[in-house]
Structure 1
Amino acid sequence: MDLIATSALDDPLAAARDATADMLRQRWRTYSLPQPFYNDPRVFALDIQEIFTQEWLFVGMTCELPAKGNYLTAQIGDNPIIVVRGDQGAIHAFHNVCRHRGSRLCTQEKGKVAKLVCPYHQWTYELDGRLLFAGQDMGEDFDLSAHGLKPVAVKSAGGFIFISLAEQPPAIDDFLATLDEYLAPYEMDNVKVAAESNIVEQANWKLVLENNRECYHCNGAHPELLNSLIEFDDTDDPRATPAYRDLVARQQAHWERLQVPWALKHFGKRNRLTRTPMIDGVMSMTMDGKPGCGKLMGSLTSPDLGSLRILHLPNSWNHFMGDHAVVFRVLPLGPQQTLVTTKWLVRRDAQEGVDYDPQWLRKVWDATNDQDRQLAEENQRGINSIAYQPGPYSETYEFGVIDFVDWYSETLLSRLDAEAPSLHIVQG
C-alpha cells in the first residue's frame, strides 16, 4: 500500500505550531501566558516535542545506581527511558524499547539486573545496549549488531544524572563543571536516598515551575518552610534588609573560611546556583531548624552552611544543606497533570533510627509539597475558566517567574520557527 504524504500527516501539529508561535510573539513579557499554554493538549504536545525531548532533563542521582546492573526508569511524554550502570562504573541511557516488537524492557521504577531482558520474547541485551540473544527463530543471517538498544544522551555531574532525547543536545558542560565544583565537598558518591515521595499534581507543569520560582505566596501558605527559609536569596533583591545583608556577609565569610563554594552562578536563565543563609541560627530545613541527620555530608565540618540552591530548567530545583539535601524532579504527564518527585539525601553511612528519622527529615517538605500542590491545582482550576486572561507579575516579588517564562517562551519559539525574527515582547 502506498504511503500518503501530506503536510498535515507529516506534521499534525503544524497549525498549532503557527498559532503558538504567534501567541509567543505577541505576549506581554511581565504577564502570565495565554490560557492555551496551561491547558491545551496541542500546546502540551509541543512542550513535550520542543522542550522535554530537546533539553537536558534531570532524571535521578548517581547514588541510585551504586553497582553494575542497577537501573532506574523515567517517562518523558510517550518515551520510556532506562538509565543503567554498566562496566567500569559507566552510566548508560537508552530508550526503554525492545528492538523486536517494541515492548518495554524494564517495567519497574528501579531495580538491578545482570542483563536487560525483554519480558515479552526474552530478547537479551548487554548493559551497554548490545543485543546478545534473539532466539534461533530469527534465522542464521539475522544481524544482532544491527538491533542494539537506541541510545539516549546521558551526562552526570555532582551526583546528578541528566539525559537528553535530542539528536544534538544543547550545551551544558559549563554548568556541569560548576555543579561538580560546588558539590565536591558533599562527596556525592558517598550519599544515599533516605526518603522519597511522588506527588501527581492536577496542574500544568509550567504552573508547578512558576509556583516554585517565587516565594510571594510563602508567607500565606508555608508556615513549616518559613521556620528555616528566608523568602529571598539575593542581596540585590529589593526586599533585602540591612539585617539580611549583614547576615549574608557574616555567612559568606564563614563559608570562605571553610572553603565551601557560595558565589552566585548563572548560566543564562536555565541554570542557577547560589548558597544563601537560612534564618539566623537555623542549620537545616527541619521543623526545629536543627540538623536532621547526625552525620554531615561528605567532608563538611560545619552544619551552618545555609542552603545551596540549584536550579535546572525545565525540571529541577534543589536544596543542599550541611546535614542533608532535598532534590526535586518535575515530569509532565498531561496538559493538566504533573509528577513531582522529591528525594532526601544523607551521608551513605548514616544509620536510620540512629543518625536520622526519615519522617522527621521529610516533614517540612512533605507539608510544603502538599501546600504547593493545592496552590497549583487551584491556579489550574481558575485558569480553565472563560474569565481567565493573562495577569501581571510583580517585578519585585515574581522576577524569578518572569525569568522562567522568558526562558520557556524564547526556547519554544526558537524551536517552533528557527528562522523567525527575534522574539517580540510587549512591555507590560
Structure 2
Amino acid sequence: MVKTMLERRIPDYTLEQPFYNNPELFRIDMEEIFGKEWIFAGMTCELPKKGSFFTLEIGNNPILIVRDNKNEISAFHNVCRHRGSKICLASKGKSPKLVCPYHQWAYDLDGSLVYASDMGDDFDRTQFNLHPVQCKSAGGYIFVCLSDNPPPIQEFLDDLNHYLEPFDMDNTKIAVQSEIIEKANWKLVVENNRECYHCEGSHPELLASLLEWDDNNDPRSTPEFKALVAEKQALWDGIDIPYLFTGTYNNRSRIVRTPLKAGTHSMTLDGQVASKKLLGRVPIPDLGALRILHLPNSWNHGMSDNLIAFQIIPVSPQETRVVTRWLVHKDAVEGVDYDPENLSAVWTATNAQDRSLAENNQRGVNSVAYRPGPYSKTFEFGVINFVNWYCERLKENLG
C-alpha cells in the first residue's frame, strides 16, 4: 500500500490521507524514518560532567545518552540485558554506574556489565554489555541513529562545527525548556514549520524580529532585503563570523545565517537581546539568526545572546511531542543577565499558535472530504523539499 501511494503521489501536492493518520503508516514511519535516520537527541551541555545522562524515547525504543569516564558522549539502548527492564527511569541525572532498578545489575558508563549477582560461576559478564546506539556530536548537538548502517552525516556535522564555533555551545546551559503535545501527525508539524505562508496571519510576536525569507534567491526577497544581507555579511566578515552556505545535504538539513529585521537583535518581544552575556566569542549583539534545519526532527535559531533548539518526537499517529530549549551562556545569571519569561515569550506564543494551526490541519485532514492539495511553489518550497525528502527516504529505506 505504501509503495503504491508513493508511486502515484502527485509532485508538489500534499500526501494522501493515510500518511497523516493511519496507525500502520505511523508504525512504518517509526521503523523506516525515525528508526533509520539520524535523530536530534539533545545538547552536549546537558551532559556537563562525567556520569551525566539523559534519556529519550524514540517510538518503543528507550535510549540513554551518557558522558563516560573518558569524557566522551555515547548512547545505549536503555534496556537491561537481564530481563529487559528500563535502567534509567529519570529523564536526566548523574551517576557513577548505571544500575537497573529491577535486580540491580550494574553497568559502567561505557556500557560494560560490571555486576550481576548470583548468576553462577560460568556466567560471562562480557557477553551482556548494553547494546550501543550510533551517536555523534557536533557544534553542541547530539544525534543518534538506531540503525546499524546509518546514512552519511559527516558533511553536515563538519558544517555545524564551523557555523557554531563562535557560539561555543559546549559552554551554554538550558535557561528555559518547554514541552507540549500537539494533536497532529509529526509530518504536519514539520510542514507547518517549513513555511511562513501562514506567518502574517498567525505570528505577530515572531514577525516583530523574524524576516520571512533568508535567501537572496527567494522570489519574495526585496532589494531592501538584499541590501541588508550585503551590509550584514560585510559586518560578519569583519568579526570572523561564518555565514557562507556550502552544503545541501539532499534536502535533509540546511544551515544559513540571515539578518533579523533592521534594528532587532534577538527573538524577543522588543527585538533586543534577552541575555546581556553573549554566547561564546560573539563580540556584538547583532549577528542576525543562524537557522539550522535537520530532518526529521529539529529546527533551530541561534542569535548573539541565545540559541533556541526545537525537537519533535512522534507519540502516535496524531500526536507529536514538541520540546523547545532556550540556551544561554553558562555563566549568565538568571535575574541579572536574563529574564526567563522575556527570553521565551516570543516562541512560547508562537508554539501555541503553531499547535492550534497543526491541530486544525489534522482535523481537516481526517475528514472524508480531504484530498491532496497543491503547495505554493513560491511560499511553500520548504514544505515541498521536506515531503520530497520524506518520500525518497521512505522509499529507499523500505527497499
Scaled to the shorter chain, the TM-score interval is over 0.9
Corresponding position of 2:326: 344
2:393 is aligned with 1:411: yes
Secondary structure in 1 matching 2:251: coil
1:176 aligns with 2:185: no
Question: Percent identity at matched positions?
Answer: 57
Q: Which residue of 1 aligns with 2:16?
A: 34
Aligned pair partner of 2:374 in 369, 372, 392: 392
Q: Which amino acid aligns with 2:372?
A: P
Runs of 4+ in 1 over 3 A off after TM superposition: none
* Structure 1 residue aligned with 2:198: 217
1:203 to 2:220 alignment: no
Q: Measure the CA separation in 1 of the matches of 2:2 and 2:68.
A: 42
Correspondence for 2:264 = 282
**Cross-structure match for 2:97:** 115
Q: Secondary structure at the match of 1:52?
A: coil
Of 292, 313, 316, which aligns to 1:310?
A: 292
Residue deviations 1:239-261 (CA, integer Å, cap 9, x gap): 11111111111111111111101
Partner of 2:344 in structure 1? 362
Secondary structure of the residue aligned to 2:166 is: helix
The reply on whether 1:140 has 2:126 as its aligned counterpart is no
Distance in 2 between residues matched to 1:142 and 1:179, nearest whole Å: 45
> What residue number does 1:156 align with?
137
* Cα shift at 1:292: 0.3
Partner of 1:101: 83
Residue 190 of structure 1, CA deviation? 1.1
Give the aligned partner of residue 15 of structure 1.
none
Aligned to 1:82: 64
Q: How far is 1:308 from its partner?
A: 0.3
Aligned equivalent of 2:239? 258
Is the aligned partner of 1:243 residue 2:224?
yes
For the residue of structure 2 that corresponds to 1:71, the secondary structure is strand
Secondary structure, counterpart of 2:347 in structure 1: helix
Q: Give distance in 1, aligned partners of 2:106 and 2:291.
A: 42
Q: Structure 2: 5+ residue runs without aligned partners?
A: none
- Structure-2 separation of matches of 1:109 and 1:199: 16
Which residue identity lines up with residue 236 of structure 2 in the other structure? W
| Deviating more after overlay: 258-267 vs 37-46 | 258-267
Shift of 1:266: 2.0
Q: Secondary structure at the match of 1:385?
A: coil
- The offset of 1:88, in angstroms, is 2.1
Q: Secondary structure at the match of 1:402?
A: helix
Distance 2:263 2:72 in 1: 42
TM-score for both structures, normalised by structure 2: 0.99
State the TM-score, normalizing by the size of structure 1. 0.92
Root mean square deviation of aligned Cα: 0.6
Paired position in structure 1 for 2:314? 332
Structure 1: distance between partners of 2:26 and 2:79: 23
The offset of 1:146, in angstroms, is 0.4
Q: Which amino acid aligns with 2:224?
A: A
2:293 maps to amino acid: L
Q: CA deviation at 1:312?
A: 0.3
Q: What is the letter of the counterpart of residue 209 of structure 1? A: V
> What displacement does 1:402 show?
0.2
Distance (Å, rounded) in 2 between the aligned partners of 1:267 and 1:258: 27
Deviations 1:265-288 (A, max 9, x none): 421100110001110111000000
**2:207 is equivalent to residue 194 of structure 1:** no
Equivalent of 1:296 in 271, 278, 283: 278
Q: How many residues align?
A: 398
Aligned counterparts of 2:95 and 2:179: Cα–Cα separation in 1: 24
1:326-374 deviation line (CA, Å, top 9, x unaligned): 0011110110000010000000110000000111100000000010001
How far 1:415 sits from its partner (Å)?
1.6
Gaps of 5+ in 1: 1-18, 419-428
Matched with 2:108 is: 126
Aligned AA (1:304): D
Deviations 1:118-140 (A, max 9, x none): 0011000001000011102x111
CA distance in 1: counterparts of 2:378 and 2:162, whole angstroms: 31
Cα distance in structure 2, aligned partners of 1:139 and 1:147: 14
Name which of 161, 167, 170 aligns with 2:148: 167
